[in-house]
Amino acid sequence: MKKKFYVTTPIYYVNAAPHIGSAYTTIAADILARWHRLKGEDTFFLTGTDEHGQKVANRAEKQGVEPIEVCNKNSAKFKEVFDSMSISYNRFIRTTEVSHGNVVAEVLKTLKDKNLIYKGEYKGLYCVACERYFTPKELENGKCPYHGTEPVQLSEDCYFFKLSKFREPLIELLKSGDWVVEPEERKNELMGFLLSEELEDLAISRKNVSWGVSIPWDRSQTAYVWLDALSNYLSGIGWDGSSKVKSKFWPPEVQLIGKDILRFHGIIWPALLLALGIELPKKLFAHGFFTVNGKKMSKSLNNILDPEELGQTFGVDPLRWLLISSFPFGADGDVSVSKLYDSYNSELSNGIGNLLRRVVAMALKKDLDYQINKSKEKIQNKITKTWQEYESHLNKLQFQKAKNTILDLAGFADKYIEKKKPWTIKDEKKYQEIISHLLEIIRHLSWMIYPFMPDKAIEIFKSLGIESNEKKKSLTESKKIGKVKFNNISQIKVLFPKL
Ligand code: MSP
């Protein structure tokens, strides 16, 4: 049976515009999805928009329109940006879909039937921008750590989920390693939190939020947005809320999130799944933040970089490459347009782009049939070793290291050219052999580039005259060395014009 791979991103708040921070998680998920598809796995990639909550209702009221109109417009914007960035999601879910609402209602009913829900009163400090309560300890100088605004004191009747019951099972799960949280630092953060504090029960309904899924047994209340949002990972693969999850894709192999939403995905989400009797995702990976001069990029700080604008400057594929590999996935990293320019010029324009142009030009110089007919162990070993390293890095979500192996292979080819100086070679057989090796390196390089820059990889295959053949192959087939005849080479477009 084919292996399956299910990857998710968080669903994005519909009342904010997409920015490169939000594109980051999605690009990472897309690279993984493309990589697992390449490996021949049955892959499902879920993303979408998170559309309920008071903020949306407030905005709609200000604009004098219905909340759904705000949702439709802004959700379409996310979809448009993701489509323009070659994001190959299998499903784009919206929490305002009726089928999703039904799932949320089923989740609530099941929890109630299991006696895990009770009525009570909630008092707390609520940040409207985050749509969540904070404990006084979590605040910075009495203000929201993410928005710098003062939270409001709220008190309301609501329903509680017995989250406290799940503290011990969660600690056990984390310890056992059956449920993986990465990077290690984030796992420690979760463990530290679970060990140091009593887990309080969770308010899972709101009286004063009209824009949401109604509580099935009390229409005066709506479901807490996070319970609503987290359920998307199940409704997105077609779960109907019945006790069994029938989709072959469940559970996710990896759920990607930013570190700011670790507790929602590392505590509330697994506790809900345990309560529902549903298998847990295999891995939760929390990445770091894009920062600008050390500060998180966010609308309220007015330091947002626009993915669409950057896409116009660098091109979509290069932007994917630059964003995902400028610092290790999991850590924070400062970005600036000038740093992106530098990497673009050195890695893509002068690096890979220049190599491609040189090799294709040399191949076109003589009308020869290029196929490796003499095995060169050093080159074969280099290609094989690069594949091994590349795969191991990608499987561990180390995008930057995977990129570096690609650049290293390109550097190896550059050195090979300098050493052999093909332009000095008169003997046709010898010339053919050297160029064949270079073309073969480029073919492998293109496959490695593919998950990062799919359109550029296709361009390279076209120029090598092997596009349709390569598309039909499995990765095992593509990775074989020396089986391809390059006899239909054409001029390559300038893939990475100097900026
Ligand atoms: N709607 C919730 C998620 C619900 S999932 C059941 C949400 N949405 S969000 O739009 O605010 O954020 C979505 C993702 O974008 C999060 O993983 C968040 O960490 C990520 N990013 C937002 N700003 C970011 C940066 N500046 N840098 C990197 N990623 C950041 O949270």
pLDDT tens track for 367-385? 888 887 777 789 999 999 9
CA of 133 to the centre of ligand 1 (A): 17
CA–centroid distance, 289 to ligand 1, in Å, is 9
- According to the model, what pLDDT value does residue 33 have? 98
Q: Give the residue whose CA is nearest to atom 12 of ligand 1.
A: 12
User: Is the C-beta atom of 456 inside 6 A of ligand 1?
Assistant: no
Contacts of 423 (CB under 8 A, 6+ apart): 362
Q: Looking at residues 261-289, what average pLDDT do you find?
A: 97
- pLDDT score recorded for residue 165: 97
Please, what is the average pLDDT of the chain? Answer: 93
User: Above pLDDT 70, what percent of the chain?
Assistant: 100
Judge contact between 264 and 230, C-beta under 8 A.
Answer: yes
DSSP string of 235-270, one letter each residue: HTTT--SSSS---TTPSPSEEEEEGGGHHIIIIIHH
In angstroms, what is the span from residue 36 Cα to ligand 1's centroid? 24
Confidence of residue 20 (pLDDT cuts 50, 70, 90): confident
Q: Is the pLDDT of residue 285 over 90?
A: yes
**Is the CB of 383 within 6 Å of ligand 1?**
no
**Cβ contacts of residue 219 below 8 Å, gap of 6+?**
none
Ramachandran sector of residue 290 (left: φ over 0; alpha: ψ -120 to 50; beta: rest): beta
In this structure, which residue's CA is closest to atom 9 in ligand 1?
A: 12
Least confident of 129-133, 158-162, 200-204, 406-410: 129-133
- CA-nearest of 77, 4, 1, 83 to 39 is 4
User: Closest ligand 1 atom to the C-alpha of 265?
Assistant: 6
Given a cut of 80, is residue 130 above it in pLDDT? Answer: no
Residue 78: pLDDT band with limits 50, 70, 90: very high
| Lowest mean pLDDT across 28-42, 171-185, 232-246, 460-474 | 460-474
Distance of CA 329 from the midpoint of ligand 1 (Å):
15
Q: Provide the pLDDT for residue 54.
A: 87
Percent of the chain at pLDDT > 90 equals: 79
Question: Is ligand 1 within 6 A of the CB of residue 231?
Answer: no
Q: Give residue 16's pLDDT band: very low, low, confident or very high (50, 70, 90).
A: confident
Average pLDDT, integer, range 452-457: 97
Ligand 1 centroid to 395 CA: how many Å?
A: 23
Among protein residues, the one whose CA lies closest to atom 10 of ligand 1: 12
Q: Is 25 in the pocket of ligand 1 (CB under 6 A)?
A: yes
By C-alpha distance, which of 2, 63, 12, 151 is closest to 474?
2
Beta-carbon count within 10 A of 262 CB: 18
What's the confidence (pLDDT) of residue 495? 95
**Neighbouring residues of 389: CB distance < 8 A, sequence distance ≥ 6:** 401, 405
Region 158-164: mean pLDDT is 97
Ligand 1 within 6 A of 13 CB? yes
Angle between helices 269-276 and 98-113 (to 10 degrees): 70
CB 260 within 8 A of CB 291: no
Using the predicted structure, report yes or no on whether residue 293 has a pLDDT greater than 80: no
Helix axes 428-449, 354-365, angle to 10 degrees: 150
Query: So where are the chain's domains?
Result: 336-478
Higher local confidence (pLDDT), 131 or 345:
345
Sign of the Cα torsion 8, 13, 14, 19 reads: negative
Q: State the burial class of residue 492 (Cβ atoms within 10 Å of its Cβ: 0-12, 13-18, 19+).
A: buried
Nearest of 343, 341, 328 to residue 290 by alpha carbon: 328
Q: Is 78 in the pocket of ligand 1 (CB under 6 A)?
A: no
pLDDT, one tens digit per residue, over 195-220 is: 987 899 999 999 878 899 999 999 99
**From the CB of 408, is ligand 1 less than 6 Å away?**
no
Joined tokens for residue 411: 């550097």
**233 Cα nearest atom in ligand 1:** 6
In this prediction, residue 25 has a pLDDT band, given cuts at 50, 70 and 90, of: very high
Q: To test the ligand 1 pocket, which listed residue (7, 8, 11, 12) has its Cβ within 8 A of the most ligand atoms?
A: 12
Q: Say how many Å lie between the CA of residue 445 and the centre of ligand 1.
A: 32
270 preceded by a cis bond (ω within 30 of 0): no
**271: closest CA among 200, 207, 213, 215?**
200
- CA 298 / ligand 1 centre spacing (Å): 10
**CA nearest ligand 1 atom 15, residue:** 22
How far apart (Å, rounded) are the C-alpha atoms in residues 359 and 236?
A: 46
For residue 394, give the amino acid letter: L
pLDDT number for residue 21: 80
Supply the DSSP string of 59-121, one letter for each residue. HHHHHTS-HHHHHHHHHHHHHHHHHHTT---SEEEETTSHHHHHHHHHHHHHHHHTT-EEEEE
336-478: CATH architecture? Orthogonal Bundle (1.10)
Q: How many C-alpha atoms does 63 have within 13 Å on its Cβ side?
A: 15
* Mean pLDDT, residues 124-132: 83
Phi–psi pair at 395, nearest 5 degrees: -65, -25
In angstroms, the CA 11 to CA 297 distance is 18
Label residue 235 exposed, middle or buried (CB < 10 Å: 0-12, 13-18, 19+): buried
Q: Average of pLDDT values for 425-437?
A: 93
Atom of ligand 1 nearest to the CA of 10: 5
Mean pLDDT of 412-440: 95
Q: What is the mean pLDDT of residues 76-95?
A: 96
Question: CA geometry: angle at 335 spanning 332 and 338, to 5°?
Answer: 160
DSSP state, residue 396: T
For 139, phi then psi, to 5°, come to -80, 155
Mean per-residue pLDDT, 43-64: 95
Structure confidence at residue 38 (pLDDT)? 95
- Under the banding of pLDDT at 50, 70 and 90, the label for residue 307 is confident
> Which atom of ligand 1 sits closest to the CA of residue 16?
10
Residue pair 21/289 in contact by the 8 Å Cβ criterion? yes
Atom of ligand 1 nearest to the CA of 290: 27
Ligand 1 and 326: CB distance under 6 A: no
What average pLDDT does this structure show over 227-232? Answer: 98
Is the distance from the beta carbon of residue 448 to the nearest atom of ligand 1 less than 6 Å? no
CB of residue 27 inside a 6 A radius of ligand 1: no
Question: How far is the C-alpha of 258 from the C-alpha of 266, rounded, in Å?
Answer: 12
Distance between CA atoms of 358 and 69, rounded to whole angstroms?
Answer: 53
CA angle 223, 227, 232 (to 5 degrees): 115
pLDDT grade, residue 483 (50/70/90)? confident
Handedness of CA 427, 432, 433, 435 (dihedral sign): positive
